[in-house]
Structure 1
Amino acid sequence: TSSISNFFRHRNNRVRPYIDLIDYLRSIGIDQDLPLPAIAVVRDQSSGKSSVLEALSGVALPRGNGIVTRCPLELRLCYVSGVAWKAVISYRDKLIIIGDPSEVAGHNELAGEGVGICDELISLKIMSSSVCDLALTDLPGITRVPVQGQPEDIGAQIKCLILKILSKQKTINLVVVPCNVDIATTEALKMAKEVDPEGTRTLAILMKPDLIDRGTEKDVLDIVRNKIIPLNMGYVIVKCRGQKQMNDGVTINDAIEEERDFFENHDEFSAARLTQTLVNHIQVRPTSNHLSLMHSSLEWR
């Protein structure tokens, strides 16, 4: 355990200066003129994105039906030795300090106001000794049909906002796709391929493996093994906490244990990668020669 702790401490010491530099440059507006390294989460509406962010951050974010995220949400995880947990929400000229992870889901400011969308950034900074240094931007889910009160061109507005961010050459695209849909038809992956046709800066996360039809497991594994739509950064398959589990009081830690049991005991998926693999992708990968989400992507080239 001590050797693992020393590894993470050493890793954070190496990565933190990069994160701090990017945060500082962004705070003074450099990103308006110079593209800065970033991670953007893109997905079709109701794809299970919230579960991925919860697994990374350890907190439950606002959920609901329809478009929950209506503006870009910057999620900043900061490793701070000796700090149990603290968070700050900042948007416009407001700062909200949160002292307990259970309070985050109740702050609907994180989703944006109204039923439309905007490109105004909302920031959630989490400081804790149990998170890794990581910053990513969660984008509104892709939708096609407007609900009551939304403009008729809501789909076009969302696509324009997403492409504006994904098209930046320093942005790594984290695409969330449910396993129980045809991956070739998902708008999120289509948009990522549109701006990154070679897949050199796109990593896909396959969600909800427990909801696929029996007999289609091998098709999903072919995707995970990069045989269907090749991506240089590949695919990760995870099973995160669903809405019913939340309603039943299942904690994030309990859900991680359930996920581990699911993959270890599944006839087909027992060899698949788990949430920890996603975390490993996002953390430092010193021996990798291609882009990693926490190290190589932050190097100036």
Structure 2
Amino acid sequence: MNNQDEERSFSESQTHGAFHNHLTESVQPLIELIDSLRLIGIEKDMDLPSIAVVGDQSSGKSSVLEALSGVGLPRGSGIVTRCPLELKLRKFKKGPWSGTISYCGHKETFYDPSMVDNLVRKAQNDLAGNTVGISDELVTLEISSPDVCDLTLIDLPGITRVPVQGQPDDIADQIKNLIQKYISKSETIILVVVPCNVDITTTEALRMAQHADPDGYRTLAILTKPDLIDKGAEIDVLNIVQGRVVPLSKGYIIVRCRGQSDINNKIPLDEAIDMEMEFFRNHRYFSSLLNDNKASTLCLTKKLTKELVDHIKKSLPHLTEQINARILGAREELKKYDQGPPLEEEEMGPFLSEARAQRIKQITTIYP
């Protein structure tokens, strides 16, 4: 690496750190607020701001989530994500890496990032069986590390068209219905993952996003695998990123994550990030996208964090109105019932005696 590259790398590192330091104090309280509302079950009654990740099978969805989280997630052919996976990333300044996985009453904390793959697979097997079926039960994976951004995403099963051996004939419809349940909510940002080496207009993930969000106000698209496109197709990809093919108000970001050959060569995630930056810097057509903040995982991290925070801020007044309305309704409902038992232990005996006497009185009135 020459002096110019070293200076540029140092500048990018400083920018990355300054970005996180600037946003951490304002981002964490907002995301923690939404997480606390989700934890107490409010999401059953009202929609909460979230980011749902959708993509066709083999679109590069797992690679993108790996780059954002810094951990290896399950990979393979066919349906790998078989349950909705809520990925909570929490940044802290000091302390060891830690992870917590929870689902259906089970909760387990661990301190080895290499355990993520097996634990997620086990959770999916527990919920969806050891075959190739899916489940709509949510698995939550929380990762605390100084090397991640504050972000919460929900990874959904990859869209398939043809069932494989062992899958029900309607597996495609099951997956689409599950995805639709998440992306149809007006509070959800739709993160669509599309490979560069396919015709974007034919991808089912983008079609579903367009159906749920016709104006494209809630949809952000990620283009993956730019190193696999045919020579001569670079201009077509540039036109997509610039929004000239399928316009989206939140736009497009192109990334180059670890491919299977990188994994086979045991290239670590942090080195893959450096390789990605080098790829875009030296690319004849895509280097300009770095300056436009439309390329690299670092750019995606900034964009997602900003979009989620802005989405939460916009949603808070409506959420407050909904919560207040439900509290008022609950209070009115409570007025229909008699006073409940006292909280003080010494008053419980007299209360129960009085309640028993009242009940006997009611019975003798009915049956003298």
Does residue 1:298 correspond to 2:298, yes or no? no
Counterpart Cα distance in 1 of 2:163 and 2:224: 25
TM-score, structure 2 length as denominator?
0.77
Structure 1 position 213, deviation (Å): 0.8
User: Structure 2: any 5+ residue segments left out of the alignment?
Assistant: 1-12, 290-294, 318-368
Listed one character per residue, the Cα deviations across residues 184-208 of structure 1 (whole Å, up to 9, x for unaligned) are: 0000000001010111010000000
- From 170, 176, 182, the equivalent of 1:153 is 170
In the alignment, which residue of structure 2 is the partner of 1:100?
112
Counterpart Cα distance in 2 of 1:205 and 1:111: 26
In the alignment, which residue of structure 2 is the partner of 1:120?
137
Does residue 1:176 correspond to 2:189, yes or no? no
Listed one character per residue, the Cα deviations across residues 156-186 of structure 1 (whole Å, up to 9, x for unaligned) are: 0100110110000000000000000000000
Range moving further from structure 2, 69-78 or 272-281: 272-281
In structure 1, give the amino acid aligned to 2:97.
Answer: W
In structure 2, give the amino acid aligned to 1:278.
Answer: L
Q: 1:249 to 1:182 in 2, by over 3 A?
A: same
Counterpart Cα distance in 2 of 1:185 and 1:86: 40
- From 264, 283, 298, the equivalent of 2:305 is 283
In the alignment, which residue of structure 2 is the partner of 1:109?
122
Listed one character per residue, the Cα deviations across residues 13-52 of structure 1 (whole Å, up to 9, x for unaligned) are: 1111111111111111111111100000000011111110
Does residue 1:213 correspond to 2:230, yes or no? yes
**1:70 and 1:117 in contact (8 A); partners too:** yes
Q: CA RMSD in A?
A: 1.5
Other structure's SS at 2:223 match: strand
Residues 191-270 of structure 1: matches in 2 within 5 Å? 191-270=208-287
**1:73 and 1:111 in contact (8 A); partners too:** no
Counterpart Cα distance in 2 of 1:128 and 1:276: 16
- From 29, 32, 38, the equivalent of 1:20 is 32
**1:83 and 1:127 in contact (8 A); partners too:** no
Counterpart Cα distance in 2 of 1:184 and 1:43: 13
Other structure's SS at 2:136 match: coil
Counterpart Cα distance in 1 of 2:123 and 2:269: 20
In the alignment, which residue of structure 2 is the partner of 1:59?
71
In the alignment, which residue of structure 1 is the partner of 2:340?
none
**1:68 and 1:111 in contact (8 A); partners too:** no
Range moving further from structure 2, 102-111 or 116-125: 102-111
In the alignment, which residue of structure 1 is the partner of 2:90?
78
Q: 1:244 to 1:111 in 2, by over 3 A?
A: farther
Range moving further from structure 2, 132-141 or 5-14: 5-14
Counterpart Cα distance in 2 of 1:158 and 1:137: 14
Residue identity (%) = 55
Structure 1 position 8, deviation (Å): 2.3
- How many pairs does the alignment contain? 293
Counterpart Cα distance in 1 of 2:16 and 2:104: 40
Higher helix share: 2
Counterpart Cα distance in 2 of 1:194 and 1:99: 41
In structure 2, give the amino acid aligned to 1:265.
Answer: N
Structure 1 position 243, deviation (Å): 1.5
Range moving further from structure 2, 89-98 or 108-117: 108-117
TM-score, structure 1 length as denominator?
0.93
Q: 1:4 to 1:174 in 2, by over 3 A?
A: closer
**2:182 and 2:188 in contact (8 A); partners too:** yes
Counterpart Cα distance in 2 of 1:176 and 1:166: 14
In structure 1, give the amino acid aligned to 2:105.
Answer: D
Range moving further from structure 2, 188-197 or 92-101: 92-101
